Amino acid sequence: MRVRASGQVRDTATAHGAAPAVRELVGALAPLLVAEAQAEAAAAGVEAGDLQQAVWLRLLERLDGGGPGVPAHPADWLRRAVRAEARRARRTAGRERPYGGGGGDGDGPAPDAAEPERAALVAERRRTLRAAIARTPPHCRRLLTAMLSPKDPTYREIAGELGISQGSLGPMRSRCLGCLRRMLAAEVAAPEHRGKVR
Give CA–CA dist 59/116, Å, rounded. Answer: 48
Instruction: Please say if the pLDDT value at position 8 is more than 70.
Output: no
DSSP code, position 194: P
- What digits encode the pLDDT tens for the residues 95-146? 766 666 554 444 445 545 558 888 888 888 888 888 888 988 999 999 999 8
- What digits encode the pLDDT tens for the residues 36-78? 888 888 877 788 888 889 888 888 887 776 666 777 888 888 8
Instruction: Answer positive or negative: Cα dihedral of 10, 16, 22, 23.
Output: positive
Instruction: Please say if the pLDDT value at position 94 is more than 80.
Output: no
